[in-house]
Amino acid sequence: MLNICFNIKQKSSSRAQQKSAKLALNNINKNLRKTNFIFNNTKVIKARLFGKKQTGGKVEVLINRPLQNNDISVFIRGKVRVGTEIFLQNNLVLEVKELISDGSRIAVFKQNGENINFSKLIEIIEDIGEIPIPPYLNRKVQNSDEKDYQTIFAKELGSVASPTASLHFSEKMFDEVKNKYNYSFLTLQIGAGTFKPVETKDIREHILHKEFFSIPEETYQIINSKKPIIAIGTTVTRTIEYAFQQQKKTGEADIFLHPANKPKRVNALLTNFHLPKSSLLMLVASFIGIEEIQRVYKIAVQERYRFYSYGDSMLII
C-alpha cells in the first residue's frame, strides 16, 4: 500500500520524533495501555459521473449525499438551472430540483422514467461511475485507485472520499493491531464538503457540512466508557466527539473541532497532513494548538513528507 513515515508528536513533549510504523505502534503501547483503536469502515462509491444536457453540453456530476424523499445532494460542473435534465449512461437521468447557495444542487435520479432511491443509485453507478479521487491530486483516475483509495476494511457504501488515515494499514499492520489492542468500527459517510476550506475570518463562525454516521453498540459503549481511544483519522474523531457530546448512535454529525472547541473524548489521533485552511487542519490544531501545528508542518516540509490523501501521517498522543 503505502510507504509509511510517521511524525510522532506527543502532547506532553516539545520534540517531534520520526518513527517507523512498527515503532509507532510500540509508542502507543507505552503511552496508552489497553488502547482502543476505532476505525471508519465506510466504502467509497463511484460518485463521479459524466453526462450531457439536452443541448448536448457536457456535464460532470459528483454525488454528495442522500437527502429525504429520494432527493440527492450533488455538485455539477457545468451551467444548470431548476428543471435541467442530465442524461447519463444506462438510461439514468438526473433532474435538477433546487440550486443551493453553497454550490450544491438538489436532484432526483430516474431510470427508465422511474425515480430511484440512493441504494439503487449506488448499484447503477458501480458500472458507470468513477472513484472520486480528490481534486488536488490534479490527475485522471487510474485503475489502481479503485483499490488504493479504499481501506482494507471498507464495507459500508456511501462515501465520496476515503478515510485516508486508514489507508496506511496493510493486512500485516492491521493484524498487529488486532493482536495487541482492542479495536472496533463506526461508519461516517464522508461527503464532498470535507474539501471545503474555512473561509470565515473568525473560524468559530464556520458552519461544517453534515455527514451521516452510525455506531454499533459495542463501539458506542467504548465511547461512553473511560477506556483510552485512538481515533484513526479525522472522520472517526468527529464522529466520536459528536456521539459523545450529543449521546447519539446514529444521525448527522456536524461538529467543528478547532482550538476554541477542543475534543472531550478522543485521547490520541492518527491523521494525514492536510490542506491549508481546511476544517481537517483545524481539527488537528484542536489537539495541539496552532503554533505547534505550524512547527510540526514545517518539519514535515523540510523532511519532504508527502501531504494529503496518499501522503504520510502523524500520530498525536
State how far the Cα of 220 lies from the Cα of 240, in Å rounded to an integer: 9
Q: According to the model, what pLDDT value does residue 94 have?
A: 98
Identify the burial level of 270 via C-beta atoms within 10 angstroms of its C-beta, where 0-12 means exposed, 13-18 middle and 19 or more buried. buried
The Cα–Cα gap between 273 and 173 comes to 20
Range with the poorest average pLDDT among 18-27, 161-170, 275-284: 18-27
Instruction: Average the pLDDT over each of 77-91, 117-131, 193-207 and give the range with the smallest value.
Output: 193-207
169: CB partners within 8 A, 6+ apart: 1, 39, 151, 152, 177, 232
Tens digit of each residue's pLDDT (9 = 90 or more) over 121-146 = 999 999 999 999 988 788 899 999 99
**pLDDT, tens digit (0-9, with 9 covering 90-100), for 11-70:** 444 334 444 455 556 666 565 667 899 999 999 999 999 999 999 999 999 999 999 999
DSSP 8-state class, residue 259? T
CATH architecture assigned to 47-129: Beta Barrel (2.40)
Give domain 6-43+144-316's CATH superfamily. Answer: QueA-like (3.40.1780.10)
State percent of the chain over pLDDT 70: 89
β-partners of residue 215 are none
Instruction: Give the pLDDT of residue 91.
Output: 95
The span from the CA of 239 to the CA of 283, in Å, is 12
The pair phi, psi for residue 298, each rounded to 5°, is -65, -40
Angstrom distance (rounded) from CA 64 to CA 43:
14
What is the distance between the alpha carbons of residues 274 and 313, in angstroms, rounded to a whole number? 9
Domain boundaries, the chain: 6-43+144-316, 47-129
